[in-house]
Structure 1
């Protein structure tokens, strides 16, 4: 059953889940391509920092969507539906974490290869004056990998900040709900007290009228009685 609970960006829980699943497929395909390129690199192929960066961006976006879905499923009133969505979101988050670990291992292997290649180039440079060109090529590749690592850290920081904001937003919304309920309780109590006061005032006025009417009747009876005896 599609959920109509909306997130901060206006998307429903189901729509966000579908977007996350599509990104998972895309990221998984990207990881496979990266690993194929890595295999061909060892046989003279070329590495692709742009591809690995794009995969890292997709994984970070999936984790951001998981943070949004984690906030939304907690608002579902039905416990069976809430438990179902909890399992779905946890499964997506686990798959995204697995892809992230695979990509991190790739980055580590690539950095190690770059370091080894640079060391080989330095050895060749001492024996061959043409090694400066080779070193320049590896320096450019090292700078590209460093740029990817810097972008990775920036994305992770942005994800942490976004998750913290979503958590604070959820907490503030719960506090506002509790304050609203307390305010309604106070208003209901005040309304009941005013009704009781008005009822007491009406009862006092009626008693006063009855008292004065009784006094008037008594005076009239005494007057007729005294007149009759006289």
Structure 2
């Protein structure tokens, strides 16, 4: 019952020790699973996996050795022992695989939460930036409206002033005509005065038009 790595009994004892160590390591992993140390157990996971692989290798060696036993009773006994070791090793491997799957799921969910949180923060910043731009646009519209009102008030004041000057000119013209008629000024002088009056009117209208053009140009420039 000798093998390349020792007798069947020696290999069996080595496999039992590895089973105990593997079971203890797996229990430690499961205790760490939901503790603050979760995610820091990569080295322990690797050690447990390595022990399971070694146990399965020992089972292959023991399976070869028990078949060479001459007595049927001893052969059947060792067969059951080796199968029991192999079944326990397989059960530990399945438990480790389940642990790894849960660990991968937690890692994936944590990454997804972090991604969603980062995306939500980015969208909030984008919305705040939109609100700020809209507020600036509204303030600009209010400023333009206020400037337009001021320009309109200025134009009305100018037109009112021109209208007052026109009335004063008419009054002065009537007084001058009265004085000229009184002193007997000739008709040619009166026609000259009338032509001058028409020129003054053209100048007045031209001034009003230029004023209106200036106001519209000012408003368009401020916008």
Question: How would you bin the TM-score normalised by the shorter chain?
Answer: 0.5 to 0.7
Cα distance, 1:146 vs structure 2: 0.5
1:127 and 1:63 map into 2 onto residues whose CA distance is 55
1:185 and 1:44 map into 2 onto residues whose CA distance is 66
Q: Does 1:180 align with 2:153?
A: no
Corresponding position of 1:55? 28
Corresponding position of 1:10? none
1:135-214 aligned at under 5 Å gives the runs 135-214=79-158
- CA offset digits 1:23-53 (Å, max 9, x no partner): xxxxxxxxxxxxxxx9993499795364343
Cα distance, 1:223 vs structure 2: 1.6
Higher Cα Rg, which structure: 2
Q: Does 1:109 align with 2:70?
A: no
2:135 and 2:32 map into 1 onto residues whose CA distance is 55
Cα distance, 1:63 vs structure 2: 10
Moved over 4 A (4+): 42-47, 58-64
8 Å contact kept, 2:18–2:51: no
Gapped regions of structure 1 (runs ≥ 5): 1-37, 67-92
Cα distance, 1:225 vs structure 2: 3.3
SS in structure 1 of the partner of residue 73 of structure 2? coil
1:56 and 1:227 map into 2 onto residues whose CA distance is 110
TM-score, with structure 2 as normaliser? 0.59
| C-alpha RMSD over aligned residues | 3.5
Q: Does 1:219 align with 2:163?
A: yes
SS in structure 2 of the partner of residue 215 of structure 1? helix
8 Å contact kept, 1:60–1:156: no
1:43 and 1:140 map into 2 onto residues whose CA distance is 11
Number of aligned residue pairs: 164
SS in structure 2 of the partner of residue 65 of structure 1? coil
1:222 and 1:187 map into 2 onto residues whose CA distance is 52
1:37-48 aligned at under 5 Å gives the runs 41-42=13-14, 47-48=19-20
The alpha-carbon distance between structure 1 residues 199 and 222, as it changes in their structure 2 partners (threshold 3 A), is: same
TM-score, with structure 1 as normaliser? 0.57
